[in-house]
Structure 1
Amino acid sequence: MKNAPRKPMVLAIIAIFVLISPIYAESASNLEKYLDCSSEKKIDIAFVFDTTNSMGGEISELRATANKFATDLEASNIDYQLGLVEFRDFPETCDGFSCGSPGDYAYSVKGNGTLTSEIDTFGSWLKELKAGGGGSPGPEAVLAALRHAGSDLSWRIDAEKAIIVLTDAGAHPDGSCCNAEGDTLEGTIFELVDIGARAYIIGPEDASLKNIAENTGGQFYEIRSGLSLKPLLEEITKSLGCSFRTDVEASCENNQLDVSVQLIGKETIPYISGQTEAWMYLDQAGSISRVNLSYDQEGEAYLASVPDVCGPVELTVYGSVGERGAVHTVLIECQSCVSGLETEEQEKSNKPPKVISLVPDQESPNEYGAEIEWTAEARDPDGDQILYKFFLNDVEVTKWETQNNWTWMAPEAGSYRIEVQIRDGKHAQESGMDDRKTSRFEISGTYRPPTDDSLVTDETKSSTTSLEKLAFSPDGRILAMACGNGTINLMDVASGTLIRTLEGRTDPENFNDYVVNIAFSPDGKTLASVFGEGMIKLWNIADGNLTLTHILEGHTYTLTDGVFSPDGKTLASGSWGDPIRLWDVASGDLMRTFNNEGSVVSIAFSHDGQTLALNDWLGERIELQDVATGDPICTLKGDYDNIRLAFSLDDETIAGGDMEGQVRLWDVASGDLIRTLEGHTDTVMGVAFSPDGQTLASGSLDSTVILWDVATGELIRKLEGHTDEVNDIAFNPNGQTLASGGRDGSIRIWRVE
């Protein structure tokens, strides 16, 4: 745990007085014309969000406005990436005061520190936010959250950096034991200065929050009852979209540092008292001081001269134009801090190293059982050898060594804190360190190493309940998923985003009214959803509004299946006790019924539309019937406890899976059993032929999917990844991917070509 800021810091303000002429005639309102609002900007933006109990409304509003915020960024020609850190407080009691509630956490870095340009990914992080905890009314762990936003997020080196803070509480004061990791106001400001980040803070009237915004070139917005985030985010977007830069010239002679700064938009921005300013932070081996620059009218630049500067110096230069800010970092080498001194004196002037970053390999999965490599980057001003030591949850896991990476395998899901300490052996005591950095990492799920037999390319958590049935649209762009709670989700296949949710049950409390099948019509204009309690709903997909066009009712027994004919004009439905019914899709009218008896578990049309296969469970037979007359054609030979049936592309073969985990193939012409495929260990819930007819897929309650060679019956590969029963499978019409859904609530897309 971090007990102190990682650098000694002197936040001294050095005033440099230069003669300034009276205020120029240029008005503040005219500053806009100097700003660059057309060039593309590359900006990384992190939200640091207070999720204590009182922030529920703000969480909901941010979720609702996230898409609009991203759209506005794009419209402002901003190449953006978004990150998210939530915070509450440390679950500790300090001098009788409860910092946070039991079970609270000070901060949580979402996505393990990644930044994303995918608004759906960012939206999924927002969905994880829940208001709660926070302990006694008062300050929260703002400083720790900001510091970790600065150190733990994977900021792009060449991007501007902005942090948007939303909180209704201030920060714990320096020295408070509620700052359990030793954070201070100055140390937090330094962390943000170190990466060149500007803080836009929406919060209460609080001196520390204002101080952070002011010293990082950001803005402070007072939060108050009834305040909407939308206009504030629009204002921040506008501020980011119309920008300027700080052009810096720096030189160092005879240990005097001279700095000249111009604020440049479309052209040089003139000085206006109270509206434009420039300042910088001067970092000499960890000793930090703020220097205010003063405007020189003759040179049209902000100037500063700082004496007694030596060695490598890092300048973080800020500019402010109205409510907009800019930042630029410059490295400059001044004369050595030692000259002609003895070795002992040289060692005294030697500067300690500092940690630049501590990050996991971005390709590492955040699942327990997977190897995750952590790498620390550090810099020593004098080029001394650096030693590294890694810690896991405050427990030492390596000795002091020159290797700057460490490979770790999490034993279980949870939140872990990784820390690296460094030293060069010339400053800290033998057991001490010169600098440290920590990072928090979230582990969830079980790692399943990819093999030739497991080719998962995408996984989307689609439902909090099980997924029962799947269907691709004919063009392969939409995947319909029937959920165990009676709803139907439509997913955009290319992006994995949810398009629409269709409510299924008429009675939400009737859990027997589950979806037994969903199907797209061959022309892609209609979606059918078949419900166990005897209702079939037809939805118009073509109009883009997913309008409910017909409700088909008439079965008196539980429905078991419903499928479209190949021409899309007819829908056949089967049940546990009623004859099969044929419905006119255009009108919703019942056309006729078959003469079958018994309980139909599944039905399937041949591709030529002339034959209907039905699995009569109680009659213990799989029967082929003539669609035109309803007369039986033949009965297939063999066992009959098959759950689902499918015709091959040439209509010469029928496949069915049974309760013993076997898949059977029959010859349609003779009704003879061709072969039995063995590989599953539990009931086969779904079978599907690939569009080219060469591959058969089967999904089972044993949580696996198997691909079979139709010609030989050989097992091609077994697809593993679901953590519970697989309920259905479906080939994409392009033949390149296969979808599987199951009781674990996930939809998996497999590459099968």
Structure 2
Amino acid sequence: MRKILLIISISVSLLVILFSCTNIPTLPQIIPADPEGVVKPDPSLYNDLQVYISSDKTPFLVPISIPDYVRVKISVPEISNLTEENLKVFEDDKAQGFLVFKESETRSNIDIMIVLDTTGSMDNAIEGVKSSIKNFIDTLEASGLDVRVGIVPYDDAAPAKDITLTKPWQDLTDLNTAKNFVDELSAYGGGDFPENPYAGIMYAWNNASWRPSSQKIIILITDASAHYKSEEYPGDAAGETLYDKDEVISAIQGYVTVHGAFVPGWYNESTTDYTSPDDPREIVQKTGGIIKYTDSSGNVDLTTLGILEYVQSSWIIAFESDSPSATHTIEVFIEKDGRKGYSKLEDISY
């Protein structure tokens, strides 16, 4: 009996410690029932607001009695406040009962890894990029948010093999240390035109000291297409760690948001089909990130990328799935102050 009581006491103590060490509140006991008779609106009428959407799989502590539920993350940078009354959520064409939480109030830590192309083709832009990264870090510091920043330079390898640094990459760290690392960066080498951003993203994902409850962000900056594992001739990336794009998406989707700043040239701004195996913009799209383009010389102002606005205007939607399908389509309709927005996730597995 004493042994049983001891086990119960230890278990209760562990639960108390777990709940006290997180800033993520628990979900209420009941997710609302699915509404009846709700007709799905016409998405073409919901085009006033830009809505970014992704699945959300970051650990989230809830009471054990709660049934399984699905989480979706949306960001609407032009809106500062949303409630359930402003939203309609559909899973596989069926209206869902749901709860909504503002992410910045449930995950107050922000971890940002910058994955940066440092090859010779970036030579004309590297000083502007370095200056922009440092200005961006200053903006993060002024925001008062709890932010850490790290950097992975890459070329045909990740971390980059063609530039010399005191250390090959910078793990998530305080903002001043991150700025000091940026000062060391240069642009050199790279060989053939495609580089290895997929390995850069995966290196950041697998090696950075991400905090469990943080909003996790990767910023990709590049002017080149991607080498990938299944290509017939990997060129100067032969022998390096390579990934196919679907491997990257499968590994990080729901856990990290990738934003991208792309130099026009190979990256055509009018293109909306990112499915080519060497186009990393699909990773940005499928993790709910922002796609922006630099000027023709590669100069980029990260403070205008909209990341702070994105972070401060993100919500988590939670609902119970009642669909037996292997993959799902989730659609979110927003109506706020006379403006409407729409976005959807396709081929999502839980």
TM-score range, shorter chain: 0.5 to 0.7
Residues 151 and 128 of structure 1: is their aligned pair in 2 closer, same or farther, counting only changes over 3 Å? same
Match of 2:195 in 1: 140
- Measure how far apart 1:274 and its partner are: 9.3
SS at match of 1:63: helix
Match of 2:313 in 1: 243
CA distance in 2 between counterparts of 1:227 and 1:256 reads 44
SS at match of 2:122: helix
1:52 lines up with 2:106 in the alignment: no
The higher relative CO (CA closer than 8 Å, separation ≥ 6) is in 2
Match of 1:200 in 2: 259
1:233 counterpart (255, 280, 303): 303
Match of 2:176 in 1: 120
- Measure how far apart 1:80 and its partner are: 0.9
TM-score, scaled relative to structure 1: 0.29
1:151 lines up with 2:197 in the alignment: no
CA distance in 2 between counterparts of 1:191 and 1:259 reads 18
Q: Aligned residues, how many?
A: 245
Matches within 5 A, 1:202-281: 202-203=261-262, 204=264, 205=267, 207=274, 208-230=279-301, 232-251=302-321, 269-270=334-335, 275-279=341-345
CA distance in 2 between counterparts of 1:135 and 1:29 reads 38
- Measure how far apart 1:131 and its partner are: 1.4
- Measure how far apart 1:168 and its partner are: 1.1
SS at match of 1:28: coil
| Runs of 4+ with deviation above 6 angstroms | 257-263, 271-274
The root-mean-square deviation of aligned C-alpha atoms, in Å, is 3.9
Residues 174 and 224 of structure 1: is their aligned pair in 2 closer, same or farther, counting only changes over 3 Å? farther
2:41 counterpart (10, 21, 45): 21
Residues 109 and 154 of structure 1: is their aligned pair in 2 closer, same or farther, counting only changes over 3 Å? farther
- Measure how far apart 1:49 and its partner are: 0.6
Question: Which structure has the larger Rg over C-alpha atoms?
Answer: 1
Q: Encode CA deviations 1:594-620: one digit per residue, 9 max, x unaligned.
A: xxxxxxxxxxxxxxxxxxxxxxxxxxx
Unaligned runs of 5+ in 2: 1-37, 52-75, 82-101, 269-273
CA distance in 2 between counterparts of 1:155 and 1:186 reads 22
Matches within 5 A, 1:613-624: none
Residues 27 and 168 of structure 1: is their aligned pair in 2 closer, same or farther, counting only changes over 3 Å? closer
Matches within 5 A, 1:648-727: none
SS at match of 2:320: strand
- Measure how far apart 1:26 and its partner are: 8.1
Q: Encode CA deviations 1:301-327: one digit per residue, 9 max, x unaligned.
A: xxxxxxxxxxxxx73xxxxxxxxxxxx
- Measure how far apart 1:209 and its partner are: 2.1
CA distance in 2 between counterparts of 1:78 and 1:66 reads 17
Structure 1 letter corresponding to 2:244: T
Residues 58 and 192 of structure 1: is their aligned pair in 2 closer, same or farther, counting only changes over 3 Å? farther
- Measure how far apart 1:234 and its partner are: 2.7
CA distance in 2 between counterparts of 1:243 and 1:185 reads 28
CA distance in 1 between counterparts of 2:136 and 2:241 reads 33
Matches within 5 A, 1:516-665: none
Unaligned runs of 5+ in 1: 1-17, 92-100, 281-289, 292-313, 316-753
TM-score, scaled relative to structure 2: 0.58
Structure 2 letter corresponding to 1:139: P
Identity, in percent, stands at 24
2:225 counterpart (156, 164, 170): 170
CA distance in 2 between counterparts of 1:27 and 1:55 reads 36
Matches within 5 A, 1:17-416: 20-22=40-42, 23-24=44-45, 27-28=48-49, 32-35=78-81, 41-90=108-157, 104=162, 110-111=169-170, 114-117=171-174, 119-136=175-192, 138-176=193-231, 177-178=233-234, 180-193=240-253, 196-203=255-262, 204=264, 205=267, 207=274, 208-230=279-301, 232-251=302-321, 269-270=334-335, 275-279=341-345, 290-291=347-348, 315=350
- Measure how far apart 1:109 and its partner are: 5.4
Residues 274 and 171 of structure 1: is their aligned pair in 2 closer, same or farther, counting only changes over 3 Å? farther
CA distance in 2 between counterparts of 1:163 and 1:215 reads 13
- After TM superposition, the structure 1 stretch with the greater mean CA deviation from structure 2, 145-154 or 73-82, is 73-82
- Measure how far apart 1:202 and its partner are: 1.3
Structure 1 letter corresponding to 2:149: L
More helix by share: 2
Contact map agreement 2:225 2:280 (CA 8 A) in 1: yes
